Structure 1
Amino acid sequence: MGTKTNPGRFFEDYRVGQVIDHAVPRTVSGGERALYHALYPARHALYSSDAFAQACGLPAAPIDDLAAFHLVFGKTVPDVSLNAVANLGYAEGRWLRPVWPGDTLRASSEVIGLKQNSNGKTGVVYVRTRGLNQRDEAVLEYCRWVMVRKRDAEAPAPETVLPELKKALAPEDLVIPEGLDFTGYDFTLAGEPHRWSDYEIGETIDHVDGVTVEEAEHMMATRLWQNTAKVHFDLSFRPEGRLIYGGHVISLARALSFNGLANAQMVVGLNGGAHAGPCFAGDTVKAWSEVLDKADTPAPGVGALRLRLVANKDGAPFDLRGEDGRYLPGVLLDLDIWVLIPK
């Protein structure tokens, strides 16, 4: 009797150039927004108020950028990272158009690189994923690389192919949502007076607030995004603790960054990122940012900031690496993003 269940792909099941169309498209409603704002202390005005978004030239408040990211990411998990040991990094992430309630999202990934690890038991798979709406328009794209178990340690190693990925997106790579206009921006309603010109390259910002991660909210979040990775659900798979989904930490850090970056309304680029350390229930997550670069954009009143967003669970803000160059033990996330902010 044949089996109908899916054990997931292992390292030797991937080949460069392979295209995987992921199952279960998802129609987005206002429910995703409500749950996103319940799970994270998310309160950027552009995603909270239709009226505020309309005053900025958009037809209504979109779904939060990271909610769209998690929805697309979740689609890829059964095919890309079900048997993952760790999600290692990101590059060339771009939000290409806003996602509105009523849109239906699906995802497709192309394998762009493979490298077996020296232990012969695992390998790294590089994919480029695109999220598409019901009109087959790309809403976002990103690359990520994942360490995946081998089914058979004796299986021959594939030829190593390492993709050439940009260390950072250039400002001209960023896509500004059609109609976005910050010339009439209401700083009072947004919550802070700080505009593009108030931020200096090299400036660091301690976002002050912290959130203690709970089992229940993480389980709800991971199910919301239909992320089926075993390490987030099955304690027998990782006895030392149920690993908190890295995207959950990204959203916590982004939401905490409101205090100091309330006007960083839209995330439009993901230059790179590392889940530097594991997060478990009971950890208290705090965040800080560093301004890495500034750029003008062609949209009226809209500037761009390149930010390093760091989440840590202990240690002082602005501590990142030890003398050996490695991330300090309490660092959970080191993310490099482009955001849009009024000038």
Structure 2
Amino acid sequence: MTKSNSGLFFEHFHVGMMLRHATPKTLTEGDVALYTALTGSRYALYSSDAFARDGDLDGAPIDPLLVFHTVFGKTVPDISLNAVANLGYAYGRFLAPVFPGDTLCAISEVIGVKENTDGKTGIVYVRTTGLNQHGEVILSYVRWVMVNKADPAAPAPKPVVPDLPDYVPAEDLPTPTPAWSKNYDQQLAGSPFGFEDFQIGECIDHIDGMTVEEAEHQLATRLYQNTAKVHFNALVQAQSRHGKRLIYGGVVISLARSLAFNGLANAAEILAINGGRHIKPLFAGDTIYAWSEVLDKAMLNQGQGALRLRLIATKNVSAHAYPGVDHPDAILEFDYWAAIPLRSSMVD
């Protein structure tokens, strides 16, 4: 009897299945530093203890995307070790801040399954919950992933596709982590623009591009303890339709979000993930560009509002013309809510 884990295949999943994922991870200042080195993220809230203390925090919290990738990575050996691709996300909420020294773990519930018409793969829908060392829920989200079948002749389960909301309603948004009371330093944050300065329908070109190198994306994915074969095993990928290693979609999200600093520096804290999809794969040597569209706005408390933002990433072509998701070089559509201070909370 083998003692190694070959991962679950599509026919092994069923609706209602609960998965308690292995390897809790304590996030440290070292993890934060490495994440910054790999993404170039510059949001002041996550870069400076002193800046965070102005928001009545003890120190800088950890970037929500590093939290998301860490929780996501816990789930890979059980859900997507044999995945073809991660397809999308829905109704994600960051429910409590995470600080260096906190330990994260994850559990998932299978909420849907549907075999593809080729009979070789199927879609698995899961709701994942991330918890800290106190058992408090810090993150919850839904994702769906295409998974290989071990035996193409295995009978298909009855299809169940969950009814997922298109977005997180503003009234369901978590309370922002910092509380700004007329002491938000816009110069240190890097932008003079507050909640009132953004209009629904406005598009923002983030201008800068970032080329992804082979070692960088593999190191980032290892940081998250994501063991999916498609990101690491060149021999396996040589036999795939792509012929080379895929870059983990979370790397694309983080790099596009880092580029979004140029134009959205004050919209640092991600409160919720409304939806997202990886439109096309990214490979080492490709260059990412990004732009954002303001889809909606909502007033919050603590001197802040929220922007609903649609982040589009492209590869190897500047995003200055605001290409849509149907553009041949679009690779990511990421719909999220971000907290942003009111101008009345800012100091020059």
Tell me the TM-score normalised to structure 1 length: 0.96
Unaligned runs of 5+ in 1: 322-326
Indicate conservation of the 8 Å contact 2:207/2:318, yes or no: no
Letter in 2 for 1:250: I
Q: What residue number does 2:207 align with?
A: 208
In structure 1, the residue matched to 2:52 is: 53
Q: Say whether residues 1:285 and 2:288 are aligned partners.
A: yes
Q: How far apart in 2 are the matches of 1:265 and 1:133?
A: 22
1:283-338 Cα distance to aligned partner (Å, 9 max, x none): 000110000000001x22110000000110134421124xxxxx322111000000
2:308 maps to which residue?
A: 306
Asked if the contact 1:303–1:342 (Cα under 8 Å) also holds between the matched residues in 2, the reply is yes
The 5 A counterparts of 1:57-68 are 57-68=56-67
1:230-256 CA-to-partner distances (Å, cap 9, x unmatched) read 000011222221100000000000000
Q: Distance in 1 between matches of 2:314 and 2:289?
A: 5
Q: Which residue of 1 aligns with 2:222?
A: 223
**Given the alignment, which residue of 249, 252, 258 partners 1:246?**
249
In the aligned structure 1, how far is the partner of 2:213 from the partner of 2:339?
31
Structure 2 counterpart SS, 1:39: helix
The answer (yes or no) to whether the contact 1:183–1:300 under 8 Å persists in 2 is no
User: What residue in structure 2 maps to residue 139 of structure 1?
Assistant: 138
Contact 2:176 2:339 in 1 (8 A): no
Contact 2:176 2:269 in 1 (8 A): no
Change (3 A) 1:182 1:287: farther
Q: Secondary structure at the match of 1:73?
A: helix
Find 1:272's aligned residue among 272, 275, 284: 275
Give the CA deviation at 1:47.
0.3
Q: In the aligned structure 2, how far is the partner of 1:76 from the partner of 1:339?
A: 25
Q: CA deviation at 1:182?
A: 5.0
Conservation of the 8 A alpha-carbon contact between 1:130 and 1:140:
yes
CA distance in 1 between counterparts of 2:5 and 2:177 reads: 41
Aligned-pair CA distance for 1:131: 0.6
- Gaps of at least 5 residues in structure 2 are 343-348
> In the alignment, what sits opposite 1:12?
11
- Counterpart residue type for residue 46 of structure 1: L
- Which amino acid in the other structure matches residue 31 of structure 1? G
* Aligned position for 1:109: 108
Residue 236 of structure 1 aligns to a residue whose secondary structure is helix
The TM-score, its normalising length taken from structure 2, stands at: 0.95
Instruction: Measure the CA separation in 1 of the matches of 2:181 and 2:224.
Output: 31
Question: Per-residue CA shift, 1:192-239, capped at 9, x if unaligned?
Answer: 101111000000000000010001111111111000000000112222
Q: Counterpart amino acid of 2:290?
A: A
CA contact (8 A) 1:183 1:342 kept: no
Task: Say what the alpha-carbon RMSD is for the aligned residues.
Answer: 1.0
Partner Cα separation in structure 2 for residue 163 and residue 32 of structure 1: 35
Taking the aligned partners of 2:56 and 2:260, their CA distance within structure 1 comes to 24
**Is this contact kept in 2: 1:182–1:302, CA < 8 A?**
no
Return the alpha-carbon distance in structure 2 between the equivalents of residues 265 and 146 of structure 1.
Answer: 28
Determine if contact 2:9/2:82 at 8 Å carries over to the other structure: yes
**% same residue:** 59
Question: Is the CA contact (8 Å cut-off) linking 2:176 and 2:271 kept in structure 1?
Answer: no
Q: 1:238 to 1:329 in 2, by over 3 A?
A: farther
How many residue pairs are counted as aligned between the two chains?
336
Match of 2:259 in 1: 256
